[in-house]
Each structure stands twice: as structure tokens, then as C-alpha cells.
Amino acid sequence: MPNFESESRSTTPAVTVNGFSDDNPQFTLYAHHTGPNGFKVAEVLSELSLTYCFIQLEFGSGKNGMKTPDYERINPNGRIPAIVDHGNNDLIIWESGAIILYLVKKYDTPGYRLWAESVEDQSKIETWAMWFLHYHSEIVPSAQERYIAETRRVLAIVEKQLLQPGSNGWLVLGRITVADIAFLHWYLHTHRVGIYIEDEYPTVWGWIEKMKKRPGVQKGMKGARFPVREAGEGGTS
């Protein structure tokens, strides 16, 4: 394995699953302290009580960079996240959607904490889990306008979905699944584009707050950096 600086993620009390523990973690997760896609995976690993070592990479080709031959041996696409499953012959997986589905398919049975037993229910989860939003580093006003409008459109759909009879305030199956977690971290960033969920989408806000209180999600979020709304900034309240 490439030699990157790592950060141990120990918990008290230490968790032991599949013969691995916080001192001898099963997974290596490559992530970035602002990248929602990496934290999405950290949150799923933590919710499933799987142990992992968190490698904090940097953008670009410098020290601990994603665009380095060492990391491109893990992910030829040079992006985070990627995982190595040391409990499964050091299997490497990259692309956040592929990773979270691998984790639940392999490690969330038969408990079904974030996954489901029937193919029908699995498809419902996948439908919502695979619905992504994207970043663009360059400011292109027309694209920005379009994606801000798209984000609002998606938020309105999520708001409606969470209010469906029997939803219990979750996206599908009336309980938390990996689909909820796939969304969560992205919605912690919408202030950056002037969308204040707490003002505009109260049900979505309640759902986010509910997830943020979960110990597994809190563990997975450790080290995440995202902008916090300043007093008096933007919004309608």
C-alpha cells in the first residue's frame, strides 16, 4: 500500500467486527477534509460499525496529493473517495456510489441497518442513493444558476418525499437507509450557494438534524470542514 500519512479513528470503547478493531482497522479510506463524497463513505462505515483508518489526501499533485502515481495506483481517476478492504484481499473500490453499495451489500446482511432484503426494496434505496449533485471548480454563471436551480428543485422533491405518508421522515422504506446517508453530506454545503435549507425546506432540515445526532454519523463526520452559517447571513429569517 502507498505510504500516506494516516489518522487513526479510535472510539471508546473499541469496536471489534470481523476480527478487526479500531487498533487494527479493516478498511483504509482515502478522503479529503472538505469532500462530501469521502464523508458519505465514512458515515456509512461508522453506521455499520466497521473499523477504518482515515487517510486525508490533498487536492493536486503535491505531498499526499490525489494526482500522484502512489494514489493513482489506488484510484486511477485521481479523486477521493477510495477504500481498501483489508478483510477481503485488499480489494480496492473507488467511486462513492460503488463503495457504499459494496459496503451495505457485503456487510449489512442480515441486519439490514441501512440496506434491505428484497430486490424491490434494494432498488428503491438505489434510486435515491444514486442521485448525485456535482461541483465545478470554475465559476460559470449560467452553469451556476442552473445548478442552484437544480439543487432547489431536488430539495423540493426531497422535502415532498420526506412528507409521504408512512415515510417516518426518511427517504424510503420508512426507516434510515444508505440513501439518506448518500444525501446528507452534500446538504451541509448549500450555504455556499446561498441556499438556506433551514429557511426554505424545514422537513429536509429536520431530517438533516436527525441524522447529525446519530453517533455513527457523528463519528464519520469527524474532521469534516464545511462552512457554517454566520449570524445575519443570507436567507429569509
Ligand X SMILES: N[C@@H](CCC(=O)N[C@@H](CS)C(=O)NCC(=O)O)C(=O)O
Residue numbers at the binding site for ligand X (CB under 6 A): 32, 35-37, 59, 66, 79-81, 95-97
Task: Specify the residue, 58 or 200, whose C-beta has the smaller distance to ligand X.
Answer: 58
Nearer to ligand X, 66 or 171 (CB): 66
DSSP letter string over 174-234? TS--HHHHHHHGGGGSGGGGT--HHHH-HHHHHHHHHHHTSHHHHHHHTT-----PPTT-S
Least separation in angstroms between residue 226's CB and ligand X is 12
Residue 35 or 87 with smaller CB distance to ligand X: 35
The least CB distance from residue 206 to ligand X, in Å, is: 25
Contact predicate 182/97, CB 8 Å: yes
Asked if 32 contacts 38 with a C-beta cutoff of 8 angstroms, the reply is yes
Residues 44, 226: Cα–Cα separation, whole Å:
19
Taken in order 92, 94, 96, 102, is the CA torsion positive or negative?
Answer: negative
Report the C-alpha gap between 9 and 153 in whole angstroms. Answer: 36
| Cβ-based nearer residue to ligand X, 129 or 217 | 129
Rounded least distance, CB 31 to ligand X, Å: 8
Closer of 46 and 75 to ligand X (Cβ): 75
What is d(CA 160, CA 156) in angstroms, rounded to the nearest whole number?
6
Query: Of the two residues 119 and 139, which places its CB atom closer to ligand X in the complex?
Result: 139
CB of 110 to ligand X, least distance (A): 28
φ, ψ at 82 (rounded to 5°): -145, 150
| CA of residue 225 relative to chain centroid, distance | 13
- Minimal distance, residue 168 CB to ligand X, in Å: 27
